[in-house]
Structure 1
Amino acid sequence: MKSWAPINLNVGLVVGVLFVLLTYLVLSQQAASSGLNVAATVAQWIMDKHLTTNGPGETFVASDVQQTAEKQAAQDSGGSAAAEKGKVVYNTKGSYSETCEVDGDVRINSTALSVTLVPASWSERREWRIWPYSRKNLPDIKMVTVTQLEDKAAAPPCTETYNIPAVLFALGGLTGNFWHDFGDVLVPLFIASRHYDGEVQFLISNMKPWWPAAYRTILQRLSKYDAVNLDVDDDAQHVRCFPHVTVGIHMHNGGLSIVPEWAPGGGRLSMADFTRFMREVYALPRDAPASLVREPGKRPRLLLVHRGHSRRFMNEQEILRAAEAAGFEAVAVDLRRDVTVDAQARVVNSFDVLLGVHGAGLTNAVFLPPGAVLVQVVPYGKMDTIATLEFGLPAKEMGLKYLDYVVSAEESTLLEMLGPEHPAIKDPDSIHRSGWDKMTEFYLNKQDVRIDVARFAPVLAQAFDHLHQQ
């Protein structure tokens, strides 16, 4: 008996190891096929921490735990299910969003904010709770309940029937900031609806009336139909029926970015497609920057984004003179929100270079002609990663030449305000470790910049040389 004990132990150990390896391989294949992206950048982590916390110690995570089993079941039914009638396909690609593609006999009750799939034959009842805004876990966004019924008996009767698909999404959230208007709503909405070529109905919850008014020109090109305000329905029996509904809109890699392979409808989309769409929507005349090869004497135009609050250029006129000396026709423009987006787009499209401190004003790069230059001045405080994710990488996706200039402590007003021994100057990493609010307080809200034009001159020269090669 003693001689068999080690053998049995060894056999058990080998079997156990093989079982673990087999389990790992199976789960790895499932994870790969589900399309889940669990990679998170530093900026995404900071933003998620900021958005999912409502005061000290309180986070909105309970519903994530509650839905774990439901989400896994939905993911298991993915793949070819997207093309089948009577299916709900749950999508969590990326780090920010969740959506449901509901295909078949789909019925929507706006007073309950519910989406119901009526099956053609008996099926298992399932339920999902979806944030219709592109950033999940925002506390002011009411969730949508998506239910797959067992059979037709429990289905609410249709009172209004559509023969086109619908996209249901929410406003509010972080809208009102130009970057978030585009990154959180307009780009995800473009992704969700472009393949319908206008034959799609928009259903909006948490309506902010000023928002559709501001972006009416874009919305009218994405959909031929007036958007439905789900908030104003007061008839609990009113049920709208559709052949297909997309619940929620999907932000791919954060803000102004599109992953071509993730586009719905079997096609591929990119940020270059989005900026081309912007030029079509606003009838922008320029699809290429000034060519110094074809017109040697022409001075390319540089727009400096004037800011009236934080992150201002304290020596704006000096920077403009340096740009003129580098060969540009340079002008400072205040891209205020009281100017229509239509007018703003036409102004920006007339320039070859957009120069500004990190902030929402750089979103106007979507109106530049391809091949133009975006120059981002990155504030002091180790803001490089965030600046690159929010504008650097998107600029390249748009087909722009991207240049950045990182502000030194000596060029930041924080040095004079706080002194050289303050952690915000001496140890920016400690400020970042303190969380999003502290980082925002010092590096985004309290800081202005005074550019050393001699140090900045090589960046202007690079921008000019790029245009000289066009």
Structure 2
Amino acid sequence: MGAGEGKHGKGLVRSWAQRYLNLGFVAGFLLVLLAYIVVTQQFVITSPEAVPTMTPHRKQAISAPGAGETGTPEARVEDKAETKPVDASSGDETPNEEEQQQQQQQQPDAEPEWKKPEDTVATEQEPPKRDDTAAEPLDNGKVVCTTEGPFSDTCDVFGNVRTNGTAHTVTLVPATQTESREWKIQPYARRTMSGISEVTVTQLDSTSAEYPAPACTVTHNIPGIVFALGGLTGNYFHDFSDALVPLFIASRRYGGEVQLLASNIQPWWLGKYEAVVRRLSKYDVVDLDHDDQIRCFPSVTVGLRMHKEFDIVPELEKRKPRLMLLHRGHYRKFVNVPEIVKAAENAGFEVAIADPRFDVQVEELGRSVNSFDVLLGVHGAGLTNAVFMPTGAVVIQVVPYGNLERMAKVDFGDPVADMGLRYLEYSITAEESTLLEMLGPDHPVIKDPESVHRSGWDKVAEYYLGKQDVRVDVERFAPTLALAIEHLRQK
């Protein structure tokens, strides 16, 4: 082979190699493009069962109307609203990393917690579009004012209660027409102290168009306590005698589940006694004088009661045991709740009605349940909250009609006793079941529950669990409430 042929052969090889290299590059590019299209198309398709994302938690002692409450120990200024799961229908999404970085860059550096009074100013929230308060009260509520004490005046307001901090007003909004009334209360522990702004407690006439109820901008599901600093505070003795001891008297029964609202606020004072105040309330103190929110509470205490100088009279503080009534919103619900509440109050209980939302945070629910002495409910999942009850508390299970005692005992009776709680059981009669009026006394479901059980679980579940509500005979139920009271006294 000649030198020319060798060069020509080498050039031909290089030409073919270059051609195959180009073809390989094109083929590889097409494969990568095809893979990209397939993968991205999979991500574009959305699953109808996709789980909504959760926004990150932010600390909060208050909530926008209808939201839950949770507290943190990180600051004594008012907490921000607890976030909720994103509503898939609204399309709201969690901010991405870039947006969060931009928000952080826009926020000023945090100042020392007690540097200045502005640090305790309540954070303004966007007003809601409508007045969305807590559940409609069972009655008109009530105002109980005590003015005969040697030192102080107080008012306890129960029901649909609304505070307006900047106006220094606490308003009871009744469910039906009532007589308008008004009280002036100095929230400092000594009524004769000058320089303390009074708080006006008002019971509205619900039919009054001239003075309509202010719309809620923040809804709390815990009680509130309105009090004042200033006066003689700053003197170490009076810090305890005029503020800390009376505040302990007012808040101790709530086990930290109470919102403090202070007028004439002294940031240095709250900083000095921060450890004590945090034990009295799990939530950050609201600066009442600068709070432009309309806050709604189930109850509010206005003023601090001082028994004696630097002392407590024990017999005045025999608090009523607290009973949580679980109110189901569907089948197996109580149909005469007001009568049950009245019977429990007559037995000596302080009663609260609970219907926990599905999306409630377990931390929030657990703190609330743990502050009660008795849990009362019809057989159902709500009694699972017994796990949050304090040791020595009482659980009363109301067993629906239909020979369900064994199931009730296995599901809750035995576990509750093993938790160190006192278990009481109340089985209703046919006369206390709505099945009687629905089916009549001669129907096998009423006349012969055993035959229904023999027919199979489907009929048991259909009638006794799925179609039955409970109308408690309060006179027949009274001995069960008395047993609960007696147990609590013996603890």
TM-score by length of 2: 0.37
Pick the structure with more helix per residue: 1
TM-score by length of 1: 0.38
Quick check: which has more Rg, 1 or 2? 2
